[in-house]
Chains A and B, each alone.
Chain A
Amino acid sequence: MDEARCERLRDWLARAADDAGLAITAIERLVGGAIQQNWRLTLRRGDGREERWVLRTDNPATLAVSHGRIEEFALLRAAHAAGVTVAEPLFVCEDSGVIGAPFLVMRHVAGIAAAHRVVKWDAIAGGREAASRALRRELARIHRIRPPRSDLAFLGDPPADPCLAFCAEQERALDAAGPHPILEWGLRHLRRTAPPPIAPSLCHNDFRTGNILWTEQGLAAVLDWEFAGWGDPHADLGWLCARCWRFGNLAMEAGGIGTRAALYAGYVEAGGAVPDAARVAWWELAAHLRWASIALAQGARHLSGREPSLELALTPHIVPELEWHILREVASREAGLERAA
């Protein structure tokens, strides 16, 4: 961030925080974030206190399905108010003239999110079982947020049938991505076997290892709310437990971190309904489809020429592995249906 932007940012933050003496003493871009840019700000407040905040803004090209920073700020506020463990949202700036794009500012939370480290960390949050329960407790709190909510009006009306709405959305994504018959095969199976609709809740829609900040003491923050929306709460469970999000630690079905049993128990203890295993299984297969279409969309950002990036260029090469597991899962589910018939 150049000097002029830093200066404008300082002035804007000083007004937002009502602290004319506020100074930015360090600004550092954080690694990661294919869709957003995150910057850690170290500040000295007018009274001499040092504070750390995180500024989050958009990359030049963003996925059409992700929310902007203003909407993400509203989601963070709603989650914070519902007791979800998130970084405290502080300010949002809609004026692109300050740093070049709208941004939000939240309090910095220390911890580790890197998925490949987290899944190998036995002492995480006091142990894997405790970590699983913490995951589900957070999900239960998120899922207690139900429509209608005027502060979340930008999410639109909840889908009448979240599973079929998912199928329709994925069909549109595949139409945009070009022919992928294996993904089409998985999607057709999902459409044929979609469970009936249930009452919608707020879904985080990217609640997985890598988007959760951990310390040895516990779950420090649920990150990355840009895909949140109204839907079937089992979608979050399926996303978390999907094989593709266990980062190689396949036996730990809850995101490579803990057991599925502890995850479900934590949800019930936190006041959630007993998860429907068949419905979660449907959403686990759906997770592979969704991750594949996100990967293709990320590749398209590179291919568009607007955002050349090695990381984005490599992302679609994840798709064949996802297809491999989709084919096997569909075959296994079809065999089960045949036996049951």
Chain B
Amino acid sequence: MHARRFLPVVVAASAALALGLTLPGSATAATAASGSAVITESSTFFQQAAAQGVFAAPLPSATGAYSSANGLTSTFPVTGGTGNVDQITADLQLGGGLLIVDVKTGRAAAFTNLDFNTFLGQFTGVPVGGSTPVALLDPAGDLSVGGDGTAQTLTSSELDVDPAGAAYLNAHLQTGFFAGQSVGSFAVSYTPAS
């Protein structure tokens, strides 16, 4: 029953991924922008979410991994970008998608056209079937950037659910779980197009 309700969402997400993720910004560069954004769900959050029936998973071309020590790690490839992470001026386009399901309510939400903007300090995604980005996650806690102008990094010790994202997910999944949640940590590596 639940799987049947999730299936259209997953199919739609996959279709969107197959059709729509050619993004501007690197088409004319000799070397395309590269790197990744990695969301690490802490074991604490993973267990609390699971207890509430909430699960999140990356969709291709993003990848996921799990260990009991580190929790769930989702890695999203950088597909384009402008600005510089180490100058806090970057706007990065990310491949893959993000699927969030609530098995208690039998509902799911999937996001594509993922983006991380350092000026806004937000990880955003466009709901499948929609067109308006939703701010999903905000890096917080101990924040650091580094790099030499080419290979650049950003890390945050915390990754909080954005209030707008919490409102969207709570409404869409018919839950009250997401408000005020801290997911885990966040890391970005980025090499601009050249």
The answer to whether A binds B is no
Residues of B whose CB lies within 8 Å of any CB of A are: none
Residues of A whose CB lies within 8 Å of any CB of B are: none
